[in-house]
Amino acid sequence: MSQQVKPWSQVASQRDRELHLKAPEIKRWREQEHEAGSPSDLEDFFRVHGLCFTCKATGTRLDPVGWDEKVPLFEECPVCGGTGKLSIQ
């Protein structure tokens, strides 16, 4: 098992925080873009802000790669290398 695998307890707290912090910002941004007639999908938000949509900027794959007894284990996101960020193109 690689060192990059994290148990759900670590992943969950990080994910909840990230999504909780971003929710109002995402909602505002999507309304703005929609009114301006620009692409306003959730995926657009992540792309425009240099965030990894594959892992929803959490740095870990959304699906577990294995189990430690009853604890699901998550692997680093292969797209952003666990940073949750991508360079803006």
User: Which secondary-structure segment (H or E) carries 66?
Assistant: strand 66-68
CA angle 39, 40, 44 (to 5 degrees): 80
Sign of the CA dihedral running 14, 20, 23, 25: negative
Between 31 and 41, name the residue whose CB sits nearer to Zn ion.
Answer: 41
CB of 30 to Zn ion, least distance (A): 20
Of 11, 51, 55, 73, the residue at the interface with Zn ion (CB under 5 A) is 55
Between 66 and 81, name the residue whose CB sits nearer to Zn ion.
Answer: 81
Contacts with Zn ion by CB under 5 A lie at: 52, 54-55, 77, 79-80
